[in-house]
Amino acid sequence: MTILLSVTGFDPDRWRGALQAADPAASIVLAPAHAADESIRYAVVWKQPPGLLSTLPNLRAIFSLGAGVDHILKDGTLPDVPILRIVADDLTNRMSEYVVWRVLDHFRKGAAYRQAQARREWVDWPQPAARDVTVGVMGLGELGRDAARKLAALGFAVTGWSRSGRPVEGLTVHGGEAGLKRFLAETDILVVLLPLTPETAGLIDETLLSGLKRRTPLGGPVLINAGRGGLQDEAAILGALEAGTLMEASLDVFQREPLPDDSPLWRHPAVFVTPHAAALSDPDALAPTVMAQIAAIERGEMPSNRVDRAAGY
């Protein structure tokens, strides 16, 4: 039995080493020796070349090495085998670190204090209490729920929105289109952790941004997108910043990545840009999870983190 590793943008040798370390007996190949390699039963991928997986006659399951599976599903020739999302504390913790960091930096007026320091100006501004600021988390999968819990532990008022509106313990959840308007209207800081699906593509647009609370304790609403760039309309974000319907943004993902050199987001004083680095996949931390799940499938079990292809996540 062979495992195929196909990654783009990740270091393949680093991942092969980590997978091998997690199971020294495993046979791992970086590319199929020839099309229709019959020995390959599992594919472990990040942005695999389209068409590659459909050539493998005995493929049993596909594993994503990062949060999100849109990079897998956009391959139109995908064989009909289970796709497994990666769910691992290491990845979840990293994403929550990013979210809490960005929420706190906007909430505690990081940009204003950095500018005051550059002017050598000893000045402070009124600081609302966390309990008076509502952080709205869009997307309540593993990542969204963990971020919501950690923000609540810091004292923020936290609400959530998901497509289904399924209850989450300890969280006010709004659901579906009907709940979106109310969710946005009470949100001071919007955190987007949605998957990219045909339904969510372009969701962060002028309509959504103009639905955010106007008079917030911070002076205006804040957007934090650590989901996917395809969720956002960057022209609408720039327009909302210009119009004052948005005060500041932290963006880790972009419609085109790397963010083009001529994007006005790079130099916008109210925008903090990171290079899709909110939650980097750590081979040493994630490889054991993948190998354990492959072993489970070999025993005839199916891990719970299977992707719903119709939903797209």
List residues near a second copy by CB under 8 A.
90, 93-94, 96-98, 100-101, 104-105, 107-108, 110, 113-114, 116-117, 120, 122-124, 127, 129-131, 150, 153-155, 257-259, 261, 266-267, 272-277, 280, 282, 285
| Residue 22 vs 52, nearer CB to a second copy | 22
Residue 215 backbone dihedrals phi, psi, to 5 degrees = -95, 95
> How far apart are CB 78 and a second copy at their closest, in Å?
29
| Residue 29 vs 113, nearer CB to a second copy | 113
3-state secondary structure 154-192: CCCEEEEEECCCCCECCEEEEEHHHHHHHHHHCCCEEEE
> How far apart are CB 173 and a second copy at their closest, in Å?
22
Catalytic pick among 60, 276, 306, 309: 276
Asked if the peptide bond before residue 82 counts as cis, ω within 30 degrees of 0, the response is: no
Look up 71 and say whether it is catalytic: no
| Residue 117 vs 164, nearer CB to a second copy | 117
> How far apart are CB 39 and a second copy at their closest, in Å?
34
> How far apart are CB 137 and a second copy at their closest, in Å?
16
Q: What phi-psi label fits residue 192: left (phi over 0), alpha (psi between -120 and 50 degrees) or beta?
A: beta
Tell me the C-alpha distance between 274 and 63, whole Å. Answer: 26
> How far apart are CB 240 and a second copy at their closest, in Å?
20
Residue 2 backbone dihedrals phi, psi, to 5 degrees = -120, 145
Look up 228 and say whether it is catalytic: yes
Tell me the C-alpha distance between 249 and 237, whole Å. Answer: 8
Catalytic pick among 94, 228, 267, 268: 228
| Residue 74 vs 256, nearer CB to a second copy | 256
| Residue 42 vs 272, nearer CB to a second copy | 272
What are the catalytic residues? 228, 276
